[in-house]
Chain A
Amino acid sequence: MAVFGNLSNRLQDTFEGLRSKGRLTEADIDTAMREVRMALLEADVNFKVVKDFVAKTKERCLTSEVLESLTPAQNVVKIVLEELTDLLGTTESKLVLTSRIPNVIMLVGLQGSGKTTAAAKLANLLKAQGHAPLLAACDVYRPAAADQLETLGNELGVKVFRGDGQHPVQIARDAVRAAVDGMKDIVIVDTAGRLQVDEAMMQEAADIKAAVKPDQILMVVDSMTGQDIVNVVTAFAERVDFDGVIMTKLDGDARGGGALSVRSVTGKPIKFISTGEKPDAFEVFHPDRMARRILGMGDMVSVIEKVSAQADEEQAEAAARMLQRGMTFDDFLAQLKSIEKLGGFASIISSLPGGDRLLDKAGGQIDERMTKRTEAIIMSMTKEERAKPQIINGSRRARIARGAGVEVYDVNALIKQFNQINKMMGKMRAQVGDAKGKGGRMSKRARRMMGGLGGLGDVASQAEMQRMMRDMFK
C-alpha cells in the first residue's frame, strides 16, 4: 500500500505548496481533484465512475468552507470520504430473508471470483444464526467443483445437494425439493463461474433463476478486479439481475475500488465481504471502512478487529499477566509471532493513520528479517533467561550472540528495546490501574488488543506508539 501513498498525505502535500497564497482558488481545487482522481484510479475505480465522482465532489469543495479553511486538505478529505461513503451505501445492507420456505439464495459470478468459498461461508453464517441451510452444487463444468462444495459442507456440518450428471437447472430444482423434504429453510445455489460474454452460460444462469425463483441473487466479485468490472456487472445485472454483492479476497492489499464501480453503475449494495481462508472470515459490509480503504487511508477499526481475531483468550490472559508482572522474553516472542501472522509490521503500520508516512520516513520499507533475527536471539536464550531477563549478564550475552549468529551489540540492542517496552507497559499498567482501580480487570477489548500486539496496541497513546515503532525500526 505504501506504493501509492494515501490520499490524505498527498492532499497535505498539495495544499502545503498552495497555502502561502492565502485564499484558495478554483484552480487549486482542480489540483487537489487531480490527486483524488489519481487515488481513485489507482484503487481500480472505473474511469467513468471516477470522472463523475470527481465532478460532483469538486462542486462541494468550491465552498468558502474549504477555500478559506486553514486546513483545506482535511476538509477535502472529509468531503471525499463523505461522498465515497454515501455512494457506497450509507447503511449496512444485510441479507434480507423472506418468509418463504425454503428461501433460495443464488450466487453468480466470473470464474475464480470465489463463489464456492463464499457459498460455504454464507452457509456457515446462516447456520450460526440458527438456520438450516442446504448447499446446492450447480457447477457441473469445473472439474470436482461439487466435490469442493461437499468437502466444505462436511467441514461445516452443512448438507450439500449434488446431482452429478444432471443439468444445473435440474439440480437447482431438485435441491429446493430436497430442502423441503429435509427440513432445510435456506437453499444456497452455487453456480458455475461464467464470462458475461458467454451467451449460452448467461442463458443458463437466467434459466436457473427462472426455475427456482431465488429470493436473493448475490453476485460474487473479486476485490482485485480492475476496470473491466463495469462491463461484467452491467451484463450480469441485465441478464440475470442480482440484489447485492459479495466482495471477496479483501484480506489482500487490493484497494477494492471495484466496490464503488459496482455500486455506482448498478446501484446494487455490497452486502458482505470475504476476508480470509477460514469459514468465518465473512463479514457485513461497512461503507465507511471501504471508503477509507479505497483512499488508502488508515483503517484502524479493521486492524483492531484483525488483532482481536488473532488474539485468543489464552493470549489475552497472558496480556493481563504481562500488565501485572511485566513482560518476559517468551511473551515478546509470542507477540512477534502474532505480528507476523497479521502480515508483518509493514502491513500493520501502513494501516494506521499516518502509517504510510511513517513508513516512508523509515525508508519506505521495514526489514522483516529483523524479526527473524530477533526471534533467533530469543531462541538462543535459556528458559530461565527468557523468564528472568535481568539475569542476562555479559557472558550470557556473548553466548546468546554466538547461538543466534549475531553480534553482541545486536543482543544488547534487543534487550534495551525490550526494557523500553516493559517500561511503557508499566505506564500502561498505571493507566489501566487508574481507570479501573487497583487490580481491576481490563476491558475485554483492551486485553485482547494487548494479547495481539503487546505494548504496540495502546490506542490511547498513539504518539508514543509511533515513536516506539520508529525506535524499533531504526
Chain B
Amino acid sequence: MGWLKRLSEGLSKTRKKITGELNVLFEIGPQVGPEFWDDLEATLIMADIGVGAAEEVTSRLREQSQREGLTGLAEVKEALVGLLAEAFTTGDYAILDERPSCVLFVGVNGAGKTTTVGKIASAAKARGRHPIIGSADTFRAAAIEQLDVWGRRADVRVVERTRGSDPASVCYDTIDAAEREGADLILIDTAGRLHTSADLMRELQKVVQVTRKRATCPVRVVLVIDATTGQNGLSQAKEFNEALGVDGVIMTKLDGTAKGGIALAISHDLGLPVLGIGVGEAISDLQPFDAEEFSRALITGVDDNEE
C-alpha cells in the first residue's frame, strides 16, 4: 500500500467534512469571489501552516490564477499544490541511507523519537544493513526499557547505561560498539526536552559535540516533530537548529487528523528538508517524504472522486 493511500485512510474520519468544504470551494470554479479566497486561507490556517504563510500562499495563488488565466477547479488546485510543494526545502534525502552513518534523534517530549528510532532500526535491518542503537535518553523513566523492546523486535543491539548516567558517554560507548561489531548505521535516541530549557539544551549540545568528535563517519542530527504541533513547532525547530545544527526533520503521527502544515513553515523558513513521515504504529509506517504528495494531502487529504 502506498503511503499516500495509507495517509488518506488515516485521514478518513474527518476528511468528509474537509472535503465537503474544499469541494464547495473548488466547485465555485471560474467565478471565484472573495469568499473563495477567504475559505482557502481558512483551510490553510486550519492545516497549521501558519496565518502569515496562509495569507501569502493565498495571495500568490490569486495572482498566479489571474496571470495565467486559471479558471477551472483542477487548474487552480494543481497550481496550489505546486506553490506549496515548491516552498519545501529539498535537501540531501539520502541522509538516512548513508553508509556508514550516525544519526542522532532530537526533539521535544512526546514527539515520537524512540518509536522513530525503533522503526528506522527495523527497516534498516530488513534492508540488510547493520544498525546499532544508542540509548542516550538516560533521563525518562523506562526509556531504556522501551528501546530494548524495539531492539529485540528488530534484532538490533541496543547500547545502554543505567538511568541517570551521562548521555554523552552512551554515545561514546555506542560508537565504540559499532566499530567493534562493524555496524554501518548508528542510531542514537536522546531524551525529549523543551527547546526553552537552557540547561537541557546545553546538555544536548555536549552530546552532539562528543558524538561528532568521536565518530569517524558522518554525524547527522534529525529533529522529530509531532504532526499535531501548531505554530510552536517553528520555535522548536529554530532553537534545536541553532543549538545543534539540524540536518533534517521527521514528522510523526500523520495518521491522525492533523495535517502537519507546520512542516512547511519549518522546511521553508529554516531551510531544512523533511526526511520522512510517520503514518502509523507499524514498523513500515515510516515513509519517505514527497513534497507534492504531502502538499496534496495538506489541502485535501483525499482523492477527488470521493463524494
Contacts and interface: CB of A to CB of B under 8 A. Distances in A.
Contacts of B147: 143
B48 A347 contact: no
Interface string B61-77: 00000000000000000
A111 B110 contact: yes
Interface stretch (A42-50, A85-93, A175-183, A394-402): A42-50
A145 B141 CA distance: 9
Interface string A207-233: 000000000000000101111110110
B256 A42 contact: no
Contacts of B226: 112, 222, 224
A148 B140 contact: yes
Contact of B48 (A143, A150, A196, A226): A226
A344 B243 CA distance: 14
A313 interface: no
A237 to B, nearest CB: 15
Q: Is the interface of A mostly helix, strand, loop or mixed?
A: loop
A147 B197 CA distance: 26
A153 B121 CA distance: 31
Interface stretch (B9-17, B28-36, B90-98, B180-188): B9-17
A147 B112 CA distance: 18
A347 B46 CA distance: 28
B150 interface: yes
A232 B257 contact: yes
B196 A253 contact: yes
Which of B111, B112, B148, B230 gathers the greatest number of chain A CB atoms within 10 Å?
A: B230
A437 B240 CA distance: 50
B141 A251 contact: no
A144 B231 contact: no
B145 interface: yes
B45 A41 contact: yes
A340 B197 CA distance: 9
Contacts of B24: none
Interface string B171-209: 000000000000000000000001111110000000000
Contacts of B48: 44, 226-228
Interface stretch (A20-28, A95-103, A254-262): A254-262
B216 interface: no
A8 B149 CA distance: 50
A113 B143 CA distance: 16
A326 B91 CA distance: 56
A110 B231 contact: no
B46 A47 contact: yes
B165 interface: no
Given A195-B256, A232-B257, A252-B108, A226 B146 contact: no
A150 B47 CA distance: 38
A368 B201 CA distance: 13
Contacts of B231: 42-44, 226, 255
Contact of B258 (A113, A149, A226, A235): A226
A387 interface: no
Interface size class of A (residues with CB under 8 A): 35 or more
Contact of A114 (B42, B109, B198): B109
A291 interface: no
Interface string A318-339: 0000000000000000000000
Given A47-B45, A112-B226, A197-B13, A228 B197 contact: no
Interface residues of B, number: 55
Nearest to A37: B51
B47 to A, nearest CB: 7
B160 interface: no
Contact of B228 (A144, A225, A252): A225
B256 A144 contact: no
Contacts of A195: 253, 255-256
B46 A224 contact: no
A151 B51 contact: no
B227 to A, nearest CB: 8
Given A143-B146, A251-B197, A228 B259 contact: yes
B142 A145 contact: yes
B129 to A, nearest CB: 22
B51 A340 contact: no
Contacts of B305: none
Nearest to A257: B230
Which of B141, B256, B261 gathers the greatest number of chain A CB atoms within 10 Å?
A: B141
Contacts of B195: 252-253
Contacts of A113: 110
A343 interface: yes
A349 to B, nearest CB: 14
Contacts of A231: 14, 257
Contacts of A117: 109
Contacts of A368: 198
Interface of B: 10-14, 42, 45-48, 50-51, 108-112, 118, 139-143, 145-150, 163, 194-199, 226, 228-236, 253, 255-259, 261-262, 281
Given A195-B253, A228-B259, 5 more contacts: A141-B281, A151-B141, A222-B226, A252-B196, A340-B199
13 contacts: A38-B51, A111-B253, A143-B118, A144-B142, A196-B257, A197-B13, A224-B229, A226-B229, A231-B14, A252-B195, A254-B232, A258-B230, A368-B198
7 tightest A-B CB contacts, nearest first? A226-B230, A112-B110, A143-B149, A44-B230, A148-B142, A151-B141, A144-B145
